[in-house]
Amino acid sequence: MSDSNRLEREIEEILGKIDQFPDAEARRKREGNRALRQIGTAISDRQRAIARELGRFSMSQVMLASFLLMLGSLLFRAGAPLLMEWMLYLGSVLFVTSFAFIVFGGGSGSSSSQPQRWRGRPIEASSGPSLSHRLRGWWEARSRK
């Protein structure tokens, strides 16, 4: 008996919610949001695919390609001077950018992601105290004398 009452109450709740069903304008708005989400998802999927493809190249390879681009633009300048001038600019920007990434640590992706191992055990390469700490210790030891 209680199961039938509970079932009857659930049916009444469902029927009561039918009156609150979204109208045409709300459905249109929801469809528009769904379309925007699908477009956003497609764009982000393409961006991830491009980033994955670009991630295959190391910064040293980008630097080499930029150098070759600059060299090629200088060698073939007589054929299309305006195009070669822009290739020289592009090569210069790529060279400076890749050099900055290498120098300031942005290009070290593979070595930092894998822990270093020796004989199957992970090791930590602690270099000990820094130069400033060693100099400070030397100065304090010298001043105590």
Task: Note the pTM of the prediction, 2 decimals.
Answer: 0.45
Smallest Cα–Cα separation from 76: which of 66, 87, 65, 67?
87
pLDDT winner (highest mean) among 11-15, 49-53, 109-113, 116-120: 49-53
What pLDDT, on a 0 to 100 scale, did the predictor assign at position 95? 95
On the question of pLDDT at 129 being above 50, the answer is yes
Question: pLDDT tens for residues 48-72?
Answer: 999 888 888 888 899 999 999 999 9
Amino acid of residue 65: A
